[in-house]
Amino acid sequence: MASHRHILLINGPNLNLLGSREPQIYGSTTLHDIEQAAQTQASSLGLRLTTFQSNHEGAIIDRIHQAAGFSPSPPPGAAITTEADPGVGEEKVSAIIINPGAYTHTSVGIRDALLGTSIPFVEVHVSNVHAREAFRHHSYLSDKAVAVICGLGPFGYSAALEFVGRHMKF
């Protein structure tokens, strides 16, 4: 399996609190534990895995853009130039696994970033969002995702990685 099969794992807001946040819903496994297990699994599948977590919608959008080889947005107040910045934006990933957290239910921006880059993605949720509050039942991403996995706890990440590594064609 070629090393060009590069997968980006994105985790959205509050997922950095896994392991301590509402353990009756999310369990006791930390995000670090999930990322370490995913790295081991990715290696066994012949995949290169990069992980990213942010509580900020714009940072997630910028990271999706970078994954497709686009330069990130300049910081607020920075001058915008039309010259290419060598070395910036060269990364290309084959697929994205994303747990958008609360942005699942609110972010047209993340949806548009995923659609605009044409990178296939799998949506993951630790809890069963359909068994929770009504506002969590709608996802702005699900209708465009290759697959949606929810309610499997941390195993959902493993299932997503297995699916990407063994069943998606790049």
Among candidate residues 26, 103, 140, 157, the one labeled active-site is 26
Which residues are known binding-site members for substrate? 99, 105, 112, 126-127, 136
User: How far apart are the C-alpha atoms of 93 and 69, rounded to whole Å?
Assistant: 9
Q: Which of 6, 56, 65, 125 does the annotation list as catalytic?
A: 125
- Active-site residue, 32 included: no
**Residue 49, beta-bridge partner list:** 7
Separation between Cα atoms, residue 38 and residue 8, nearest integer Å: 11
Binding residues: 99, 105, 112, 126-127, 136
Query: Which of left, alpha, beta for 99 (phi over 0: left; psi -120 to 50: alpha)?
Result: beta
Count of all residues that appear for the chain in the document = 170
26 an active-site residue?
yes
The whole-angstrom separation of Cα 114 and Cα 117 is: 5
Tokens of 169: 């064609």
Q: What residues are annotated to the active site?
A: 26, 125
